[in-house]
Amino acid sequence: MFVGVGAARVRDLFEQARQKAPAIIFIDELDALGRARGIASPIGGHDEREQTLQQLLVELDGFDSSSGLVLLAATNRPEILDPALLRAGRFDRQVLVDRPDKIGRVQILKVHIRKVKMAPEVDLEQVAALTTGFSGADLANLVNEAALAATRRKGETITLADFTAAIERIVAGLEKRNRVLNPKEREVVAYHEMGHALTALALPGVDPVHKVSIIPRGIGALGYTIQRPTEDRFLMTREELEHKIMVLLGGRAAEKLVFGQLSTGAADDLAKVTDIARDMVTRFGMVEELGYVAYEAQRPRFLEMPGLTQGGCQVGDQTQQRIDEAVRGIVMSAFDRTAAILSGNREVLERCARELLARETLDEKAIGELTGDLKPPRPAGS
């Protein structure tokens, strides 16, 4: 009895808009209405959604640009829209509302801090630097969490420490002080986190370390190291990606150097390392022995239609074996370089780990004081 209701409502919508012209028609969550035909469509029976979409396409075909109507739509899933919706004469102009850059984050923060009382020494540039990848809603939540943190400590104003605590709460989760680690586990976690931090400090061009902690947070984090990006990045070189891998491997390398055995604490680090190394080989063409070839189909990106050619190619068994060897070679080479950095700075590692065990958390200033004699890595091949 409800077949055809969606299509009828689309007809009514455009009819009402024409009667009230000039008018704006705004369709939110367009993907609910305009999902590509053939995707998850039922086998047999009647697809009501397709009929509704077809009626919308018919209305768009008869759309007169001089009738005083403006048609807008919004979606978070443009990659699943029907290609017919996006052809010329329909929704042919796409406006990407991406996550804000550093300047945008500062401006968004200025809007939200009007409702709270800020300490005069708080620099929003520093807060924006710590929130790379945050959306506008995330930043609104950040200011709210910072205000709650200031209220809990009975503060009169919000300080940078409150913003840092709010970022940790959003990114890493709630503190789990009731999750009691035995002394051996705390020691392993302390060396693991300082391995990340010292590797980041020793390598040139890596984001500076903002904070290191061995207080458990969230579901599985037994400790964490926060780095503070100095600027938003959109391109990365092979050297920068290798440095990123080395920082991720710093925890595993420290465990092996100090304890001579491995733990399960590096599982998440290893997954990220493997993804980066595989992308370097299969997507970015950064291994010359394999040629400047994309061996893996590029993942669908924003405003790309499913089914369109996305690059990549089929890979033979021998080539797949060479890809696996190249991925393993990148990771193991980075691990050896990381282990060499930590081995050359063993005294600094021991000193920082002992201090971290005593204080549980080290901020940027404390880390700087403890690592004044940190030796830089030796040049490759020396």
d(CA 174, CA 216): 8
Q: Report d(CA 158, CA 115) in Å as an integer.
A: 12
Q: What does the pLDDT read at residue 149?
A: 92
H/E stretch holding 210: strand 209-213
Model confidence at 302, pLDDT cuts 50, 70, 90, reads very low
What is the model's pLDDT at position 219?
Answer: 58
Residue 312 pLDDT level (bands cut at 50, 70, 90): very low
Q: Best-predicted range by mean pLDDT among 39-53, 56-70, 216-230, 293-307?
A: 56-70
Q: Which tens digit of pLDDT belongs to each residue from 6-38?
A: 888 989 998 998 888 889 999 999 988 888 877
Q: How far is CA 126 from CA 136, 151, 232, in A?
A: 17, 22, 13
Q: Sorting pLDDT into bands at 50, 70 and 90, what band is 2? A: low
Distance separating alpha carbons of residues 251 and 253, to the nearest angstrom: 5
Residue 41 has pLDDT above 80, yes or no: no
Which architecture does CATH list for 5-86? 3-Layer(aba) Sandwich (3.40)
Mean local confidence (pLDDT), 257-282: 92
Task: Show the tokens assigned to 158.
Answer: 């919000």
> Does pLDDT of 46 surpass 90?
no
**Would you please indicate which residues are annotated as catalytic (active-site) residues?**
193
For residue 146, the SS3 value is helix
User: For 107-134, what is the mean pLDDT?
Assistant: 90
pLDDT bin (cut points 50, 70, 90) of residue 188 is: very high
- Has domain 102-171 been given CATH number 1.10.8.60? yes
Helix, strand, coil percentages for the chain (3-state, nearest 5): 55, 10, 40
Instruction: Return the closest-CA partner of residue 363 out of 231, 208, 166.
Output: 208
What percentage of the chain has pLDDT greater than the value 70? 87
Please write the tens of the pLDDT for every residue from 201-232: 999 888 888 889 888 876 567 888 888 776 77
Measured CA to CA, the distance from residue 341 to residue 259 in angstroms comes to 17
Nearest-angstrom CA–CA distance, 224 and 265: 11
Q: Work out the average pLDDT over 114-118.
A: 90
State the pLDDT at residue 220. 60
Cα pseudo-dihedral 179, 185, 188, 191, rounded to 10? 40
Residue at token pair 């055809």: 4
Look at the chain and count its residues: 382
CA 150 – CA 242 distance, rounded (Å): 39
What is the architecture of the domain spanning 183-370? Up-down Bundle (1.20)
Give the pLDDT score at 307. 43
**Domain ranges for the chain:** 5-86, 102-171, 183-370
**C-alpha to C-alpha distance for 194 and 184, rounded to whole angstroms:** 16
Residue 22, preceding bond cis, omega within 30 degrees?
A: yes
Provide the 3-class DSSP secondary structure of residue 212: strand
CA 195 centroid distance within chain = 22
Give the range among 106-110, 193-197, 290-294, 345-349 with minimum mean pLDDT.
290-294
Tell me the mean pLDDT in the region 39-55: 68
Strand partners, 363: 211
User: Which residues does residue 362 pair with via DSSP β-bridges, in sequence order?
Assistant: 212
DSSP-derived letter for residue 376 is P
CA distances from 102 to 106, 136, 188, 297, 299 (A): 6, 12, 36, 31, 26
Give residues with Cβ within 8 angstroms of 74, minimum separation 6. 26, 27, 28, 29, 30
What's the whole-model pTM score?
A: 0.74
pLDDT at 347: 92
Least confident of 82-96, 131-145, 291-305, 334-348: 291-305
